[in-house]
Structure 1
Amino acid sequence: MPRKTDNEDRLRQVLKVAHLFYEKEMTKTEISHEIRASSTQVARLLAEAREQGFVRIEFSPPTLHDLSERLKRKFDWLKDAIVVSSAEDLAFLRRMIGKAAAQYFETAVSDEATVALGGGDTMYEMVMALPTTTRNVRLVPAAIIDSGPVLNHIDPAVLVSLLWVRSGRQAGRAHLATGLPFNRPLSRQKLKEEYDEFSRRKAVQEVLAEMKRADFLFTSLGCLKADAAYEQLAPRPHHYLLENLRLTEAGLAREGVIGDLNYSFFDANGSTAEQWNVFPALGVAAVQQMVVAQKTVVVAAGKYKLAALQAALRGRLLNVLITDEQAAAALLR
């Protein structure tokens, strides 16, 4: 039978871990270092704190929670739906969606998981919201695109590098390859041929193999018809990519394109076509396979990309949705 002092020591440890996690907002990894215990032990102590009623967790206001539950009922393949409050300041809203994605990352991604990262500003906000700590995960880009000679977009390789630094700079934990800059516009077919040749390199094949092994994908969406106010926040990668492909947004719209997932274009039904896939990526077809395989595909985007969100849900291009209340309400209509 446990001694009274053992029970008291256990209680003190439960309360300390709960205090560090909920009040000091330390991560489980940070707490494990603090109390010299494994992350698994920390998780058990937190569970015990909840079971004994020492803490009460409220993930969101009731209205947001209700929207989340209704989204999961309507789109019943979703593993989770996280809804944040809407805001008129779209830069602030994007930051909040990125922060929600970071919180999901911290709670859902397990040790030794392989995580693929999409590019763009929302994913940048997610990476910057993640605390700097040692993470035993493998990181890969969700796409390999040509970059340079000047920077005009936060591509996946940039975010893989950044998160690798923020996760302890462990050797062998990040894999990436960047496409060579093409200094002249090329047709889609010609650019695809260039990338097919590029993808035959041994080092690139290793990265592509890691991408296919991804357990988690965190990404956002490109939207051909994004909110006009959102267009003012940052340069859109589409313009640069389309110039290199000798395409225009109007031309793609005539083809039926609504948006893109990791630079793989899709239509209003979330379907893609061969000519809409140029870059080596976890594109539409690969992501649909991930969803079928019950891997975790997190898409984070707000009301300013509603058309792309609607199409992505029709095509089942995700199984975890992170969005805002106005977008959620529109998706439920």
Structure 2
Amino acid sequence: MIESDELLSIRAAELYYEEDKTQDEIGSILALTRWKVGRLLAQAKASGFVRIEIVHPRARRLPVERRLREAWGLTDAIVVSTSGVDDQDELQTRTAQAAADYLTALRPTPRTLGISWGRTLDDVARHLQDGWAAGVDVVQINGGVSLNRRAGTAASTAVTIAQKAGGHATLLPSPAILERLETKQAIESDRAVSAVLDLASGADAYLFSAGAADAGSVLVDSGYLTAHDVTELVRRGAVGDVVGRYVDSAGAIVDAGLDGRTVGLPLESLRGAQLSIAVIAGAAKHAVARAVVGSGLCTVLVTDEETALSLLDHPSSNQHHDGQRGTP
């Protein structure tokens, strides 16, 4: 009898999902009541015989999001589907769009949004629609005056996000990394720069990404570090950078000297924030994603399905579950 019901549920599912028959039509074909057909279709789904997948590029993986929130103590998680993704560019586009959608739906809307810079944030800025919010001011949280051809990227990202929200952008007029500690200290003590950092430290929300520890880093591309520098950082345990600061798998600073010459908010500002949104996607960033989430650097993660599953399959012993957000 059980086997008969199973076969009937499969046949009913085939007629309903593949031949577009109504439940009444299926009842006539199989000599069953409409109620029995409905029960068989529900049984087919519950038994795993039917899998419904939404394949639109903006589709989200809600069950994975729930597991991610519960496993890592996140306030929220946004996970985009990787179905039909052919390359890293498409994956980046989907994740950036999801981050833009999340910002647009965010309530209450932050009055001041602190942002980092880089390729991911630039993509998020481009995907935001004009009028995504009303009167949101944007402030840079780390230095971004480039040393070469990528000049202007950090400033244009902040200005674009602010303009599309009818707000103002406050830029941090400094390189990301200085050659000498004394120079960095002098810059941060400058009245104009310190005023920006003070504004950034009081932002209502933060939006940032993370870079993989490899030669493709935007910090290498922008001329701050060399490929050899990054190789040495990896040798010392670096898994990636967060707002220009290289961290290990536990989210700890790898090179105190380099960190001391880096201009911008310290990582503790992200850990103490009520709302800090990390946008991280791609296989190359699985390790740094674990470091960010596991060390409490974000309250919200926007990521792709494979990165999310990696986080669920390889939990960290440094998970941040103390609930003490908002206490610097």
So what's the TM-score if we normalise by structure 1? Answer: 0.68
Q: Which amino acid in structure 2 is aligned with residue 79 of structure 1?
A: T
Residue 203 of structure 1 is matched in structure 2 by 192
Alpha-carbon RMSD across the aligned residues, in angstroms, is 2.7
Structure-2 separation of matches of 1:128 and 1:311? 27
CA contact (8 A) 1:264 1:272 kept: yes
Residue 171 of structure 2 is matched in structure 1 by 176
Structure 1 unmatched ranges of 5 or more:
1-59
Alignment of structure 1 residues 48-87 onto 2, 5 Å: 64-76=61-73, 78-86=74-82, 87=85
Q: Does structure 1 residue 194 correspond to structure 2 residue 193? A: no
CA contact (8 A) 1:199 1:280 kept: yes
Residue 138 of structure 2 is matched in structure 1 by 139
Look at both structures and tell me which one has the larger radius of gyration over its CA atoms.
2
Structure-1 separation of matches of 2:272 and 2:257? 19
Q: How many pairs does the alignment contain? A: 251
Q: Classify the secondary structure of the residue corresponding to 1:221.
A: strand
Deviation at 1:256, TM superposition (A): 1.6
For residues 91-133 of structure 1, what are the alpha-carbon distances to aligned partners after superposition, in whole Å with 9 as ceiling and x for unaligned?
1110110111111111115356210111111111111111112
CA contact (8 A) 2:209 2:280 kept: yes
Q: Which amino acid in structure 2 is aligned with residue 197 of structure 1?
A: A
Instruction: Return closer, same or farther for 1:288/1:180 CA change in 2, 3 Å cut-off.
Output: closer
Q: Which amino acid in structure 2 is aligned with residue 315 of structure 1?
A: S
Deviation at 1:247, TM superposition (A): 5.8
Q: Does structure 1 residue 119 correspond to structure 2 residue 105? A: no
Residue 229 of structure 2 is matched in structure 1 by 248
So what's the TM-score if we normalise by structure 2? Answer: 0.69
Instruction: Return closer, same or farther for 1:197/1:112 CA change in 2, 3 Å cut-off.
Output: same
1:318 alignment partner, one of 298, 314, 317: 298
Q: Does structure 1 residue 284 correspond to structure 2 residue 263? A: no
Q: Does structure 1 residue 238 correspond to structure 2 residue 217? A: no
State the percentage of identical aligned residues.
Answer: 23
Q: Does structure 1 residue 300 correspond to structure 2 residue 295? A: no
For residues 141-186 of structure 1, what are the alpha-carbon distances to aligned partners after superposition, in whole Å with 9 as ceiling and x for unaligned?
12013423x3326643331122223233x5xx3211222699xxx7
Residue 219 of structure 1 is matched in structure 2 by 208
Structure-1 separation of matches of 2:62 and 2:143? 36
Structure-1 separation of matches of 2:97 and 2:240? 23
Q: Classify the secondary structure of the residue corresponding to 2:301.
A: strand
Structure 2 unmatched ranges of 5 or more:
1-57, 314-328
Q: Classify the secondary structure of the residue corresponding to 2:186.
A: helix
Q: Classify the secondary structure of the residue corresponding to 1:328.
A: helix
